[in-house]
Amino acid sequence: MEMEIAGRARKLDIQELEEIRNDAYENARVYKEKTKAFHDKIIIRNQFSIKQKVLLYDSTLKILAVEIQSEETRKCFKVNGQRLKPFYENFQMHIIEKIVLEEPKI
Protein backbone atom coordinates (compact mmCIF):
# COMPACT_ATOMS: atom_id res chain seq x y z
CA MET A 1 0.00 0.00 0.00
CA GLU A 2 2.80 2.43 0.78
CA MET A 3 4.32 1.93 -2.67
CA GLU A 4 1.03 2.89 -4.33
CA ILE A 5 0.69 6.06 -2.23
CA ALA A 6 4.34 6.96 -2.83
CA GLY A 7 3.85 6.37 -6.60
CA ARG A 8 0.87 8.74 -6.70
CA ALA A 9 2.77 11.38 -4.74
CA ARG A 10 5.71 11.00 -7.13
CA LYS A 11 3.44 11.45 -10.18
CA LEU A 12 1.91 14.59 -8.63
CA ASP A 13 5.38 16.01 -7.97
CA ILE A 14 6.45 15.33 -11.56
CA GLN A 15 3.28 16.97 -12.92
CA GLU A 16 3.85 19.99 -10.68
CA LEU A 17 7.41 20.33 -11.98
CA GLU A 18 6.15 20.14 -15.56
CA GLU A 19 3.64 22.91 -14.86
CA ILE A 20 6.39 25.08 -13.37
CA ARG A 21 8.60 24.42 -16.41
CA ASN A 22 5.75 25.24 -18.81
CA ASP A 23 5.08 28.49 -16.92
CA ALA A 24 8.78 29.37 -17.17
CA TYR A 25 8.74 28.76 -20.96
CA GLU A 26 5.60 30.91 -21.31
CA ASN A 27 7.13 33.73 -19.23
CA ALA A 28 10.32 33.60 -21.32
CA ARG A 29 8.26 33.77 -24.55
CA VAL A 30 6.27 36.77 -23.30
CA TYR A 31 9.48 38.51 -22.19
CA LYS A 32 11.10 37.94 -25.60
CA GLU A 33 8.02 39.28 -27.41
CA LYS A 34 7.94 42.44 -25.27
CA THR A 35 11.69 42.98 -25.68
CA LYS A 36 11.42 42.54 -29.47
CA ALA A 37 8.48 44.95 -29.68
CA PHE A 38 10.38 47.55 -27.64
CA HIS A 39 13.50 47.13 -29.81
CA ASP A 40 11.52 47.28 -33.07
CA LYS A 41 9.78 50.48 -31.91
CA ILE A 42 13.17 52.19 -31.48
CA ILE A 43 14.51 51.24 -34.94
CA ILE A 44 14.12 54.02 -37.50
CA ARG A 45 12.99 52.75 -40.89
CA ASN A 46 14.49 54.65 -43.84
CA GLN A 47 12.41 54.99 -47.00
CA PHE A 48 14.44 55.37 -50.19
CA SER A 49 13.13 55.82 -53.71
CA ILE A 50 14.66 54.83 -57.03
CA LYS A 51 17.21 57.37 -58.38
CA GLN A 52 17.51 59.03 -54.96
CA LYS A 53 21.04 59.97 -53.96
CA VAL A 54 22.27 58.44 -50.72
CA LEU A 55 25.37 58.52 -48.56
CA LEU A 56 27.07 55.20 -47.88
CA TYR A 57 29.07 54.82 -44.67
CA ASP A 58 31.15 51.90 -43.45
CA SER A 59 29.48 49.33 -41.21
CA THR A 60 29.80 45.59 -40.64
CA LEU A 61 26.10 44.87 -40.05
CA LYS A 62 24.34 42.71 -42.67
CA ILE A 63 20.67 43.32 -41.85
CA LEU A 64 18.91 44.48 -45.03
CA ALA A 65 20.27 44.25 -48.59
CA VAL A 66 19.54 47.17 -50.93
CA GLU A 67 20.69 47.40 -54.55
CA ILE A 68 22.28 50.73 -55.50
CA GLN A 69 23.98 52.00 -58.68
CA SER A 70 27.05 54.20 -58.93
CA GLU A 71 26.60 57.38 -60.99
CA GLU A 72 30.14 57.29 -62.37
CA THR A 73 30.51 53.62 -63.31
CA ARG A 74 26.81 52.67 -63.60
CA LYS A 75 27.72 49.48 -61.73
CA CYS A 76 24.98 47.96 -59.53
CA PHE A 77 25.82 46.34 -56.21
CA LYS A 78 24.02 45.28 -53.05
CA VAL A 79 24.73 46.91 -49.70
CA ASN A 80 23.27 46.81 -46.22
CA GLY A 81 20.31 49.21 -46.04
CA GLN A 82 21.39 50.30 -42.55
CA ARG A 83 24.53 51.80 -44.13
CA LEU A 84 22.58 54.28 -46.29
CA LYS A 85 21.63 57.82 -45.32
CA PRO A 86 19.73 60.35 -47.49
CA PHE A 87 21.95 62.75 -49.46
CA TYR A 88 20.75 66.35 -49.37
CA GLU A 89 21.84 68.42 -52.37
CA ASN A 90 22.23 72.19 -52.08
CA PHE A 91 22.92 71.85 -48.39
CA GLN A 92 23.99 75.22 -47.06
CA MET A 93 26.05 75.68 -43.97
CA HIS A 94 24.90 78.41 -41.67
CA ILE A 95 27.34 80.78 -40.03
CA ILE A 96 27.19 80.32 -36.30
CA GLU A 97 27.75 83.37 -34.17
CA LYS A 98 29.94 82.73 -31.15
CA ILE A 99 28.94 84.54 -27.96
CA VAL A 100 31.36 84.61 -25.06
CA LEU A 101 29.71 84.74 -21.66
CA GLU A 102 31.46 86.53 -18.85
CA GLU A 103 31.21 85.98 -15.14
CA PRO A 104 28.70 88.38 -13.51
CA LYS A 105 30.29 91.28 -11.68
CA ILE A 106 29.40 91.57 -8.04
**Rounded mean pLDDT, 87-95:** 71
Question: What confidence category does residue 40 fall into, taking pLDDT thresholds of 50, 70 and 90?
Answer: confident
**Which long-range contacts does 58-63 make (Cβ < 8 Å, 24+ apart)?**
58/83, 59/83
Q: Is residue 38 domain-shared with residue 54, that is, in the same domain?
A: no
Q: Is residue 22 domain-shared with residue 56, that is, in the same domain?
A: no
Strand partners for 79:
66
pTM, two decimals, is: 0.39
Q: Which domain holds residue 12?
A: 1-43
**Rounded mean pLDDT, 56-78:** 71
Residue 10 in any domain: the answer is yes
Residue 97 in any domain: the answer is no
pLDDT at 58 over 80: no
Per-residue pLDDT at 23 = 95
Q: Is residue 64 domain-shared with residue 28, that is, in the same domain?
A: no
- Quote the number of domains for the chain: 2
Q: Is residue 50 domain-shared with residue 37, that is, in the same domain?
A: no
**Rounded mean pLDDT, 69-78:** 83
Residues 57, 34: Cα–Cα separation, whole Å = 31
Residues 6 or more apart whose CB falls under 8 angstroms from that of 77 comprise 67, 68, 70
Residues 65, 78: Cα–Cα separation, whole Å = 6
Q: What angle do CA 89, 93, 97 make, to 5 degrees?
A: 165
Per-residue pLDDT at 52 = 79
Question: Position 51: which residue type?
Answer: K
pLDDT at 31 over 80: yes
Task: Count other C-beta atoms under 10 Å from residue 41's C-beta.
Answer: 7
